[in-house]
Structure 1
Amino acid sequence: MRVYSKGIRKLIGLVIIVCVVGGVLGYQSSFAKSTNNQSSEHSPNYPENENGQTYGSSSDAASPETEPELISAIGIDGTAGYVLKKDLDGEQPKSPQDAIALQNNRSPDGRDIPLYDVEGTTVIGVFHVGGK
């Protein structure tokens, strides 16, 4: 009778271990699915100005592709405004050779771009990109 009870104890212990491992694996799988990167379906709903341009903070964007057209910024003199995404991004290389040429021609002190009002038409200051 004693052998029988040891066998049952081992069997119960094995079942408990299998259940715990299965539960942990199931939880990790569902947790990983729920914490995937944000998709474009969940991109921020930026407001639009009178010209139809989106504006807001780039920190709300899930990726560079979902950034607004006018990105909030503070000018070199402390003025709050917006910079055009295309100005901020600058010229984009079309090949690795273009990338090297752009990098070599880039000023170590950075560059200045216009700071606009919310409508994206009136320049209200200057924003400095890069450099020191």
Structure 2
Amino acid sequence: MRINLFVLALISLLLLAGCSQQETLKKTEDLVIPTFEYILENGYPVNDKGETYGPDMGNMMIIDEPDLILAQGENSIIGYVKKVEMDVPKPKTPEEAVKLNNPPPREVTLYDIDGETIIGTFWIGK
């Protein structure tokens, strides 16, 4: 729950910043972040490996989450987390559902736009 609020707050901030930009793609240091307008017009951009990347637009659009989701990790490093690494297993029993309701914090790798270069750590539930 806390991670969802954090990601939502980060996305909202990025959307506000993106909506005020005239560019279609903006670059933060060496990180390319697609703007809201760019994603609406063109869909998520794709890296050299064929992975889509950008902020998770949530219920704002009828577009699936990108393969690489924009996130802010430790030490305020901004990068991308892999959607498959963020997903949690679906519970098969009520007991499993209770355990998954309050999971311990876990570490997820923060990547550059290529989805390979590790640039930091992102914590879920910390």
Which residue is 2:111 aligned to? 116
**Aligned Cα root-mean-square deviation (Å):** 2.8
Give, in whole Å, the separation in 1 of the partners of 2:88 and 2:63.
14
> Normalising to structure 1: TM-score of the pair?
0.54
- Stretches of structure 1 that go unaligned for 5 or more consecutive residues are 1-41
Q: How many residues align?
A: 87
90 and 50 in structure 1: CA distance in 2 versus 1, 3 angstrom threshold = same
Deviation (angstroms), 1:98: 2.9
CA-to-aligned-CA distance 1:56-83 (integer Å, 9 cap, x gap)? 0013664697110100111111211100
In structure 2, which of residues 64, 67, 91 is the aligned counterpart of residue 66 of structure 1? 64
Please state which structure has a larger fraction of its residues in strand.
2
Give, in whole Å, the separation in 2 of the partners of 1:94 and 1:54.
30
Deviation (angstroms), 1:115: 0.1
Please state which structure has a larger fraction of its residues in helix.
1
Give, in whole Å, the separation in 2 of the partners of 1:64 and 1:91.
24
1:99 aligns with 2:94: no
Q: Which of the pair has more CA radius of gyration?
A: 1
> What secondary structure sits across from 1:100 in the alignment?
helix
Alignment of structure 1 residues 1-132 onto 2, 5 Å: 45-59=43-57, 62=60, 66-103=64-101, 106-107=103-104, 110-131=105-126
> Normalising to structure 2: TM-score of the pair?
0.57
- Stretches of structure 2 that go unaligned for 5 or more consecutive residues are 1-39
